Every structure is written in structure tokens, then in C-alpha cells.
Amino acid sequence: MYMPSIIELPETISELSDEGKALFNRFFDIRGSIGKMVIPEEMKPWIEKTFGGVASVEQQKIIKIFNKVTFESAMFNELRAKRPIEAKTDDSVTKEINESAGDPFCKPLSMTPADSFGRIKGKFCITASNVAKYDGLHGLVIFNKHNPLDFTEKEVQDYFHTSLKWFDKAHKSNKEAAYPFLLWNCLWRAAASIIHGHFQLVLGEGKHYAEAEEYNETRKRYYNEYKSDYFFDFYKLHELIGLGLERKNLRVFTNIAPRKDKEITIISEKPDNNFISAVYKAANCLVKDFGVMSFNIGIIFPPLNKDEGWEDFPVIARIVDRGKLSNKTVDVGGMEMYARSNVIETDPYKVFEKIKSYF
Ligand SMILES: [Zn+2]
């Protein structure tokens, strides 16, 4: 079956209606370029073995995608984007996870602090207070299961419902703290210092976290200019190029300027069970279909108070692969850190092809 590729994006856009093109051009600037080189004879056998041919290496196609609204950008190289994906689990990692059982999170009642407002017990998890906090209110949802890669939808639903209760209690303990963010750093490539499965919950005071504030400013600016909803239009353009799906109040897409590899975005009006189910599906898809073992999930919730200027702000979840656990090289380098340009391996079309089969 024919599947479009990110490398052919300029052709895909040229086939859109005028209206579609105009919407796309509001957000993105796409540029293709060819990287050329001369390969010495002695090097050719290695090139053949590694890339399957010399010609495609001597002249390699690169697509640069620039989001004009948010100044996010991504670069795709045909050589990488066309590589087949192997969903292989790393046995040495499974062994390492199993050997770390019996850590402090396996005994949360005696080995983790409680919040001043107490603990919340879910069916498959319990909350704790983070021992070294990012912010005044910083809690944990500790899964009963040690292995973070072993999760079912029922469990994930419970982790989320417990998180929502924690946000509510934390907010009641300090009314100024009203800006919720949920993160799941799964294993060490994603910056988790503890192997045992856990969410982290932070509740900002006075202001939302920077990404949320930026989203809100962007959506206001966008509305003033186009009298249209930023989140809906951003989703819509991805749907037009075959990278988005909509179910009731839920929108799922693979951003063409992702933060990092295999990113999936989910936007919903509310953090209801359908939304949680979609987050579960996205995580499950990365783990089962792509062999991802380390990922970040970040979820921005609208403020818990009736803060002016945040009306109709949605819930936004993004999930991203952080690379192989056995790989010593980190996936974020100088380009990402200081050029705001993300070098991406996997074609978003390949990711979307898989995630859409779950809906
Ligand atoms: Zn444990």
C-alpha cells in the first residue's frame, strides 16, 4: 500500500485545495535541499553496507520544516526517514528493570514522604510528595507495578484519576496554585532517576508553566489575526496532509515539526476517559509497535480557577520517544539546545499509520 512520506511533503501540499494550501502556509515554511558529497573508493563498501547504496548518500534529500507561528522547527533526512523500523525490546534492559525491584517506590508508605494534605490511594497506585521538588506543590503517582513498561488501560485510567484528585487536593491546600502539569518520564533516557513506574504532578502558583503560557499567548494572537481557533486549525492542517484523526471531542495527530522522535499529540476539550484512553493508546503504540522503552509524556491542563483569558483552553498531551536505553549518545544536542532545530529520525507518516489503527 502506498504511504506518503515526510520527504514528499512539498508534493503533498501542492495537491491541496487553495484553501488547504493557505491554511498550511499560515503555519509552515517548508524547504527541501540536497546535501552533496564525494565518497572515496575505500569507503564505498561501508556505505553500501550501512545505507544500502552509494548514490542515495552522495546526494541526500533533506526537508526542513519551520513553524512560523511558534518558531519550532524540524529537519528530516531521507536516509534516516526511509529506514525500516524494528520493534525490538532490549533484553538487557528488561533484566535491569527486574533487578531493580525492591527500590523505595516498591515500599511507598515507609520509603517516600507524604504530602502535607495526605496521600491519595488509587486502585493501582498511591501518591507521594516528591522529596526534591521542582515547585512548591510537586507530587508523585507511584504505580503498584514496578516495571514502568508493563501497563494496561485500566491501570492508566486509575493513574490519571488519582492524578486529578491530587491536583484538586493540592489546589484546595493553596488556592493560588492552580496551574496543573502532569509528566511521565519513563526510564533513564527520559530523565527518570527511579526505574519504578511513576507520574510526576506539579501545580504552578500565580502563572502557568512556560509552554502553557506560550500556547495561550499564541492562541490569542492567532485568534486576533484570523478569528479562528489556533488548536483546531493546527490540527486541521495535519488532517489535510493525512496526519490527523478526530473522534468526538478528541484530536490526535503527528506534528510535522515534532519536539523529538515519534511524537504524538492529543488535544481534548476535557481530561475525560476518552482522552485518557487516547494517551494510553499512544504510549502503548510506541512501546508495542515501535519498541520504544523510554519516553516523555507531558500534559498541560487548563487552570483550576476561573482565570481570565484561559476560557476554552484545552488539555494537551504530547508523547515522545527518547531513544534506545542502551545508547550512550543523548538525543538532544547543540541543534536542539541552541538552534531550536530538532533533528528527527522517524517519518511522522510512519507513526501516524500505526497510531490511527488504535482508533
Ligand atoms: Zn519498585
What CATH number does residue 136 fall under? 3.30.428.10
Going by their DSSP bridges, the two strands 244-247 and 264-268 should be labelled as unpaired
Is 176 inside a domain boundary? yes
pLDDT of residue 1: 58
Number of domains in the chain: 2
How far, in Å, from the CA of 199 to the mean position of ligand 1? 13
pLDDT of residue 51: 86
Please provide the size of the chain in residues: 359
With b meaning 16 or more CB within 10 Å and e meaning fewer, what string describes 244-271? bbeeeebbbbbbbbbbbbbbbbbbbbeb
205, 220, 239: which is the final residue of a domain? 205
Backbone φ and ψ of 349, nearest 5°: -65, -35
How far, in Å, from the CA of 102 to the mean position of ligand 1? 5
Are residue 10 and residue 112 in the same domain, yes or no?
no
Q: How far is CA 114 from CA 108, 119, 127, 129, 283, in A?
A: 9, 6, 8, 5, 28
Are residue 30 and residue 151 in the same domain, yes or no?
no
Residue found by looking up cell 563498501 in the block: 45
How far, in Å, from the CA of 350 to the mean position of ligand 1? 34
Going by their DSSP bridges, the two strands 198-205 and 138-143 should be labelled as antiparallel
pLDDT of residue 52: 86
Side chain identity, residue 144: N
ipTM of the prediction: 0.99
Domain of residue 252: give its range.
Answer: 6-83+209-358
How far, in Å, from the CA of 104 to the mean position of ligand 1? 6
pLDDT of residue 199: 98
How far, in Å, from the CA of 268 to the mean position of ligand 1? 32
Are residue 250 and residue 339 in the same domain, yes or no?
yes
Are residue 74 and residue 109 in the same domain, yes or no?
no
pLDDT of residue 112: 97
List Cβ neighbours of 214 (8 Å cut-off, separation of 6 or more): 70
172, 205, 238: which is the final residue of a domain? 205
List Cβ neighbours of 160 (8 Å cut-off, separation of 6 or more): 271, 276, 279
Is 260 inside a domain boundary? yes
Is 1 inside a domain boundary? no
How far, in Å, from the CA of 105 to the mean position of ligand 1? 5
Q: How far is CA 283 from CA 168, 190, 293, in A?
A: 25, 14, 10
Specify which residues 36 forms β-bridges with: 59
How far, in Å, from the CA of 216 to the mean position of ligand 1? 38
Are residue 72 and residue 218 in the same domain, yes or no?
yes
Q: Please give the chain's pLDDT, 359 residues, in tens.
A: 578 899 999 999 999 999 999 999 999 999 999 999 999 999 999 999 988 889 989 999 999 999 999 999 999 998 877 777 776 777 888 899 999 999 999 999 999 999 999 999 999 999 999 999 999 999 999 999 999 999 999 999 999 999 999 999 999 999 999 999 999 999 999 999 999 999 999 999 999 999 999 999 999 999 999 999 999 999 999 999 999 999 988 999 999 999 999 999 999 999 999 999 999 999 999 999 999 999 999 999 999 998 999 999 999 999 999 999 988 889 999 999 999 999 999 999 999 999 999 99
d(CA 64, CA 7): 9
d(CA 21, CA 57): 32
How far, in Å, from the CA of 146 to the mean position of ligand 1? 4
Is 152 inside a domain boundary? yes
Are residue 232 and residue 323 in the same domain, yes or no?
yes
Is 311 inside a domain boundary? yes
How far, in Å, from the CA of 147 to the mean position of ligand 1? 7
How far, in Å, from the CA of 100 to the mean position of ligand 1? 7
183, 205, 227: which is the final residue of a domain? 205
How far, in Å, from the CA of 137 to the mean position of ligand 1? 23
How far, in Å, from the CA of 257 to the mean position of ligand 1? 36
pLDDT of residue 79: 86
How far, in Å, from the CA of 109 to the mean position of ligand 1? 13
Are residue 75 and residue 183 in the same domain, yes or no?
no
Backbone φ and ψ of 191, nearest 5°: 80, 15
How far, in Å, from the CA of 19 to the mean position of ligand 1? 53
Give the residue among 173, 131, 151 at the shortest CA–CA distance from 165.
Answer: 173
Are residue 309 and residue 183 in the same domain, yes or no?
no
How far, in Å, from the CA of 322 to the mean position of ligand 1? 22
Are residue 69 and residue 213 in the same domain, yes or no?
yes
How far, in Å, from the CA of 87 to the mean position of ligand 1? 26
Are residue 239 and residue 329 in the same domain, yes or no?
yes
d(CA 38, CA 159): 54
d(CA 218, CA 227): 13
How far, in Å, from the CA of 33 to the mean position of ligand 1? 48
Are residue 177 and residue 33 in the same domain, yes or no?
no
Are residue 161 and residue 220 in the same domain, yes or no?
no
